[in-house]
């Protein structure tokens, strides 16, 4: 009888989730999206029950809790919910399978303080947020909550330049590459509740927009941008790709906003760019089991510099490898290449966990293959935890697994307004390769480690050997 009632409840719940819901209170609004019937049972995680409502309203709106795998080492099952809203809302989270001893809502810089009553936790939101809600210090089975703004830029589904994916499951007709190919001057719109089982390919195109609050689920790769220009990605979620979430090759004018990403497999990087320029990354949430962000010059069939990069207002979580990695791959055959004019600002790094010293560093500039990295600034960056790893990693190297020659140098790098609250962190590394391939002109301004403002190199927790071809270092 109990199993029958449970099945009956799930049946009616499934019907409820099959239709997009909107609730209004004055000008305020909450929008939830349907779950494809093929996924309703197989992709649900019962660790949490999550509900939302407008402040001042009595009735709660129940959300669907997706299962998302995280962390390559443990392949753990975490949870994810998402919805759109305006106005001021209340979120209610019930922990279903254990008592609540503690609750943290991260990034801590958001200053969201929950109210705890038994197994129930509630808090108020008055603006869009991408959050991790962690019970009893468990970061492997946590709840990811993505509260989006209400969509306003919805294209006409009947327009000739629109590829419109309505709520439901979608698989590409190309069964070999399992790809949706996007032509130039096209708007691709993923309606909330649309789930695509395939990658999006932008190859030798221009003026493409990928919009909406839909999802790419377990594609071989999320979105591929090659030999293209003026590509915008805004709002989508990519869950468990087998390889990159977004990869760029020899392209320019790439903008990525409000993208959310999870991966748990090897080489499942977040956003990787090879020989790309004019890149803007804004308000993304990346939890990956390889580099969250990586910037290279030449690799495979892509050639050229990497210039004019802006990354801002985002959250990075590297279960494996680097939150930020610059410079590994380059060109030792036809000429030198440069990575330059990069700014990383207002970022929360929630975690790094990497046991291989060659791939540590929350902020890593690690040049090989005749690369020169210069004129790069990291500012207003908050590192909450490093399970295993380093804060800074500046190195001219020759990694024989990936390189055909050493890097050329690391020059004019600024770290400004950096805080790190992780204890027992491996010393940061600064190391050149030889007298012609050095690390030089590095500035540390207002760095705070575990509440202590750094005033000298001795306080910076550096593995520094001046004989290792390191030039000028400054503390401000």
Tell me the pLDDT band of 28, cut-offs 50, 70 and 90: confident
Rounded CA separation 121/377 (Å): 39
Sign of the dihedral through C-alpha 427, 428, 432, 433: positive
Mean pLDDT of 383-396: 97
100 with 135: CB under 8 angstroms? yes
Q: Which positions ≥6 away from 7 have C-beta within 8 Å? A: none
* pLDDT tens per residue, range 14-26: 433 444 566 554 5
Is residue 4 predicted with pLDDT exceeding 60? no
Digit-coded pLDDT (tens) for 432-473 = 999 999 999 999 999 999 999 999 999 999 988 767 899 999
Contacts of residue 111, defined as CB under 8 A and 6 or more positions apart, other chains included, come to: none
> Per residue in 219-238, pLDDT tens?
999 999 999 999 999 999 99
Q: Report the DSSP pairing between strands 89-95 and 48-54.
A: antiparallel
Output the pLDDT for position 182: 98
Q: How high is the pLDDT of residue 17?
A: 44
DSSP 425: P
CA distances from 195 to 167, 222, 313, 346 (A): 7, 12, 26, 31
CB 324 within 8 A of CB 360: no
C-alpha 221, offset from chain centre? 15
- Strand ranges in 8-142 using DSSP code E only, listed in sequence order: 21-25, 28-32, 48-54, 61-62, 66-70, 76-86, 89-95, 103-106, 115-117, 120-125, 129-135
* For the chain, percent of residues with pLDDT exceeding 70: 94
What pLDDT, in 10s, does the model give residues 121-151?
999 999 999 999 999 999 999 999 999 999 9
Residue 279 corresponds to which tokens in the numbers above? 């890149």
3-state secondary structure of 428: strand
Q: What is the DSSP string of 312-329?
A: EEEEEEESSS-SEEE---
Task: For residues 184 and 161, give the distance between their C-alpha atoms in angstroms, rounded to a whole number.
Answer: 9
Q: What is the pLDDT of residues 345-378, one digit of tens each?
A: 999 999 999 999 999 999 999 999 999 999 999 9
Average pLDDT in the 236-241 region?
A: 98
- The single-letter DSSP state of residue 353 is B
Task: Quote the pLDDT of residue 342.
Answer: 98
Taking the CA atoms of 200, 40, 65 and 72 in sequence, report the sign of the dihedral they define.
negative
d(CA 340, CA 88): 42
Q: How far apart are CA 407 and CA 394, in angstroms?
A: 12
pLDDT tens for each residue of 90-128: 999 999 999 999 999 999 999 999 999 999 999 999 999
Q: What's the pLDDT score for residue 16?
A: 37
Task: Report the C-alpha dihedral over residues 136, 139, 142, 145, rounded to 10 degrees.
Answer: 120
**Cα angle 386-239-197, degrees, rounded to a multiple of 5:** 160
Q: How far is CA 3 from CA 7, 41, 55, in A?
A: 6, 15, 35
pLDDT at residue 183 in the model: 98
The average pLDDT across 190-215 equals 98
Cα 250 to Cα 255: distance, rounded to the nearest angstrom: 15
- 145 vs 10, higher pLDDT: 145
- Distance (Å, rounded) from C-alpha 436 to C-alpha 409? 8
Provide the token pair at 469.
């071809």
With 0-12 CB in 10 A as exposed, 13-18 as middle and 19+ as buried, what is 302? buried
**What percent of the chain has a predicted confidence (pLDDT) above 90?**
90
Give the residue, 293 or 176, on which the prediction is more confident.
Answer: 293
pLDDT of residue 3: 42
Q: What is the pTM of this model?
A: 0.94
In this prediction, residue 27 has a pLDDT band, given cuts at 50, 70 and 90, of low
Q: What is the DSSP letter of 141?
A: S
In angstroms, the Cα distances linking 238 to 214, 215, 302, 345, 369 are: 9, 6, 24, 23, 31
How many Å apart are CA 272 and CA 224, to the nearest integer? 10
Whether 273 shows a pLDDT value over 80: the answer reads yes
Instruction: Give the integer Cα–Cα distance in Å for 469 and 412.
Output: 15
Domain residue ranges in the chain: 18-149, 243-475
pLDDT of residue 7: 42
Task: Specify whether the CB–CB gap between 151 and 128 falls below 8 A.
Answer: no
Condensed to tens digits (0 to 9), the pLDDT of residues 315-335 reads 999 999 999 999 999 999 987
Listed in sequence order, the residues at least 6 apart from 320 whose beta carbon sits closer than 8 Å to its beta carbon are: 71, 72, 73, 266, 288, 289, 290, 353, 354
Q: Is the pLDDT of residue 12 over 60?
A: no
Could you tell me if 82 and 148 are in contact, meaning their C-beta atoms sit under 8 angstroms apart? yes
Alpha-carbon distance of 289 to 242, in angstroms, equals: 11
Return the CATH architecture of domain 18-149.
Sandwich (2.60)
- Residues ≥6 apart with Cβ < 8 Å to 138: none
Over residues 48-65, the pLDDT tens digits come to: 999 999 999 999 999 999
Q: What mean pLDDT do residues 292-306 have?
A: 97
Contact, 352 vs 360, CB < 8 A?
Answer: yes
Does residue 209 register a pLDDT over 60? yes
* pLDDT at 336 (0 to 100): 84
For residue 165, the SS3 value is strand
């Amino acid at each position: 009888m109990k199993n029958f009632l449970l099945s009956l409840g799930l049946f009616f719940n499934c019907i409820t989730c099959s239709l997009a819901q909107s609730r209004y209170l004055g000008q305020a609004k909450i929008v939830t999206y349907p779950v494809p019937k093929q996924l309703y049972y197989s992709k649900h995680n019962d660790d949490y029950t999550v509900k939302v409502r407008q402040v001042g309203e009595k009735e709660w709106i129940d959300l669907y809790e997706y299962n998302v795998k995280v962390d390559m080492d443990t392949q753990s099952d975490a949870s994810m919910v998402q919805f759109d809203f305006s106005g001021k809302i209340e979120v209610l989270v019930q922990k279903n399978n254990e008592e609540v001893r503690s609750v943290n809502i991260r990034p801590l810089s958001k200053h969201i303080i929950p109210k705890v009553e038994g197994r129930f936790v509630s808090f108020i939101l008055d603006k869009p947020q991408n959050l991790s809600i962690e019970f009893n210090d468990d970061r492997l089975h946590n709840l990811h909550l993505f509260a989006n703004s209400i969509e306003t830029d919805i294209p006409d589904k009947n327009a000739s330049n629109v590829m419109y994916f309505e709520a439901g499951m979608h698989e590409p007709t190309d069964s070999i590459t399992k790809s949706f190919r996007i032509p130039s001057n096209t708007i691709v719109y993923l309606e909330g509740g649309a789930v695509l089982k395939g990658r999006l390919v932008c190859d030798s195109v221009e003026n493409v927009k990928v919009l909406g609050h839909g999802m790419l689920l377990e594609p071989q790769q999320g979105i591929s941008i090659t030999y293209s220009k003026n590509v915008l990605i805004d709002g989508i979620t990519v869950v468990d790709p087998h390889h990159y979430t977004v990869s760029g090759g020899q392209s320019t004018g790439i903008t990525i906003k409000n993208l959310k990403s999870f991966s748990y497999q090897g080489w499942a990087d977040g956003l990787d760019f090879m020989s790309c320029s004019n890149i803007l990354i804004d308000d993304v949430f990346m939890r990956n089991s390889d580099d969250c962000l990586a910037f290279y010059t030449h690799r495979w069939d892509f050639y050229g510099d990497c210039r004019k990069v802006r990354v801002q207002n985002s959250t990075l979580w590297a279960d494996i490898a680097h939150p930020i990695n610059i410079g590994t791959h380059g060109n030792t055959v036809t000429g030198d290449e440069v990575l330059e004019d990069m700014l990383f600002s207002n970022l929360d790094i929630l975690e790094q966990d990497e046991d291989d010293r060659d791939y540590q560093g929350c902020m890593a500039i690690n040049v090989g293959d005749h690369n020169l990295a210069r004129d790069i600034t990291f500012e207003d960056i908050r590192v909450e935890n490093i399970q295993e790893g380093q804060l800074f990693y500046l190195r001219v190297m020759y990694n024989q697994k990936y390189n055909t020659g050493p890097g050329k140098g690391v020059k004019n790098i600024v770290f400004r307004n950096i805080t790190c609250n992780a204890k027992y962190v491996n010393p940061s590394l600064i190391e050149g390769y030889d007298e012609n391939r050095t690390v030089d002109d590095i500035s540390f301004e207002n760095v705070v480690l575990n509440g202590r403002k750094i005033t000298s190199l001795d306080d910076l927790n550096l593995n520094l050997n001046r004989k290792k071809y390191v030039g000028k270092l400054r503390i401000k």
